[in-house]
């Protein structure tokens, strides 16, 4: 094994909300500690964002999907250029890029076609374009390697969570609320484990755009003007996904536009109440998942560390505090000096660093894989 050295690594992340590319520059050390140098958000144009959402709804032709893969590669490369300009670094100083790409479809279900396993995932944003445009070795397409050894290809950020947040004295849950909410349990009493709780912001964003013509409910302001419809909430809580045991992951393939429209058949008439109730659904499904799947393993949770866009939603945070009470302290990544916005980009920089040095970077107890493996395809410039 090559002796690890300190590296300057760029992490690139575009999540299920597809609001743009989060790019960060970090200095990673051999023990996986790191210094965050700077971050930048590259916003997609309206046309490109529309194409991404067209892909989510499976209305994109094969030609358009092929083109979008390369277009997003150009976008990721442009995000790198903007980040370097902001950081005042030359590309020659950068050792690696770790790119998550843009998830278009994720099918972690064990299924077969003519005896062949069809469990699969698809992230686009052509890494060869990134490497050739930037002149920097690019490591990308991490998830398929975990699926190839029996995992779900997710969650992957738990590798970074374990490195960053482990405490010998505290039970911590790293709770991300992005398009979907996912939890990583970091405890001195058990192996890390992780799973997707359910929809994070994806349903809130859909209804906020549908009824209020806004991309998201900033600070939970719309939800705070509504009243939670308990009957509708209880009905929504009966979805089978919330009862499935980990390891489990989900995505837009399940909590789709069609799913959202079906929800409205039993929804209250007041649109503010819809946003309030769906926002509470995010909080309550998180709490339910702790009751069902986390507390039986570690009994108590000392700290919940929130990240993702949902960490800024005051309504969701208030509901979580109500559900968990005073025995569990709710913090954010920023309490640990880490930007809520760039945490996942940092994670993919760390995954790339591990892959470069041939260090297994999945956690089987989180993904359900049958062994540890090195994820990521290395593309030379």
The domain locations on the chain are 7-152+342-379, 158-336
In sequence order, which residues have a C-beta less than 8 Å from that of residue 81 and are 6 or more positions away? 134
Q: What is the pLDDT of residues 51-110, one digit of tens each?
A: 999 999 899 999 999 999 999 999 999 999 999 999 999 999 999 999 999 999 999 888
What is the pLDDT, as a whole number, of residue 1?
64
Whole-number pLDDT of residue 109: 87
**Segments of the chain scoring below 70 in pLDDT:** 1
Q: Do you find a cis peptide bond into 247, omega within 30 degrees of 0?
A: yes
CATH 3.30.1330.60 assigned to domain 158-336? The reply is no
User: Strand 172-177 vs strand 303-307: parallel, antiparallel, or unpaired?
Assistant: parallel
> Residues with Cβ < 8 Å from 125, sequence gap 6 or more?
12, 14, 69, 72, 73, 75, 76, 99, 101, 102, 140
CATH 3.90.1150.10, applies to 7-152+342-379: no
Measured distance CA(74)–CA(77) in Å, rounded:
5
**Can you say whether residue 8 is alpha, beta or left, with left for phi > 0 and alpha for psi between -120 and 50 degrees?**
beta
Q: How far is CA 255 from CA 119, 128, 151, 251, in A?
A: 18, 31, 21, 6
Length of the chain: 381
Give yes or no on whether 7-152+342-379 and 158-336 have one common fold: yes
CA distances from 94 to 6, 28, 80, 81, 212 (A): 11, 12, 10, 12, 43
DSSP type of residue 3: P
Give the DSSP letter string of 177-237. ESSEEEEEEEETTEEEEEEEEEESSHHHHHHHHHHH--SS-GGGTTGGGS---HHHHHHHT
pLDDT on residue 375: 98
Indicate the pTM of the whole model: 0.90
């Amino acid at each position: 094994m090559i002796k690890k050295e300190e590296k300057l690594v760029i992490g690139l992340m575009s999540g299920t909300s597809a609001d743009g590319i989060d790019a960060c520059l970090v200095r990673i050390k051999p023990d996986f500690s790191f210094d965050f140098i700077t971050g930048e958000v590259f916003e997609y144009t309206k046309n490109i964002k529309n194409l991404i959402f067209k892909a989510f709804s499976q209305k994109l032709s094969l030609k358009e999907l092929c083109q979008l893969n390369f277009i997003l590669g150009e976008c990721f490369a442009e995000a790198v250029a903007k980040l370097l300009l902001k950081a005042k670094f030359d590309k020659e100083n950068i050792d690696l890029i770790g790119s998550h790409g843009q998830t278009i479809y994720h099918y972690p279900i064990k299924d077969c076609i003519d005896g062949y396993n069809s469990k699969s995932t698809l992230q686009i944003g052509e890494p060869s374009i990134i490497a050739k445009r930037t002149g920097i070795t690019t490591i990308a397409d991490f998830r398929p390697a975990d699926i190839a050894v029996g995992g779900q290809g997710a969650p992957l950020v738990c590798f970074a969570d374990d490195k960053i947040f482990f405490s010998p004295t505290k039970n911590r849950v790293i709770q991300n609320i992005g398009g979907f909410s996912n939890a990583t349990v970091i405890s001195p009493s058990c192996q890390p484990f992780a799973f997707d709780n359910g929809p994070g912001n994806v349903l809130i964003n859909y209804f906020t755009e549908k009824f209020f013509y806004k991309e998201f409910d900033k600070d939970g302001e719309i939800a705070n003007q509504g009243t939670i419809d308990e009957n509708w909430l209880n009905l929504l809580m009966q979805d089978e996904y919330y009862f499935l045991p980990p390891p489990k992951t989900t995505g837009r393939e399940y909590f789709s536009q069609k799913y959202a429209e079906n929800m409205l058949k039993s929804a209250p008439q007041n649109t503010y109440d819809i946003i309030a109730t769906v926002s509470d659904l995010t909080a309550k499904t998180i709490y339910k998942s702790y009751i069902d799947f986390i507390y039986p393993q570690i009994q108590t949770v000392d700290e919940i560390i929130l990240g993702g866009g949902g960490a800024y939603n005051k309504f969701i945070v208030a509901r979580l505090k109500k559900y968990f009470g005073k025995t569990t302290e709710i913090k954010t990544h920023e309490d640990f000096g880490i930007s809520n916005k760039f945490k996942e980009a940092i994670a993919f920089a760390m995954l790339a660093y591990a892959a470069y040095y041939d260090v297994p970077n999945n956690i089987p107890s989180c993904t359900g894989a049958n062994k540890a493996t090195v994820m990521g395809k290395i593309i030379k410039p």
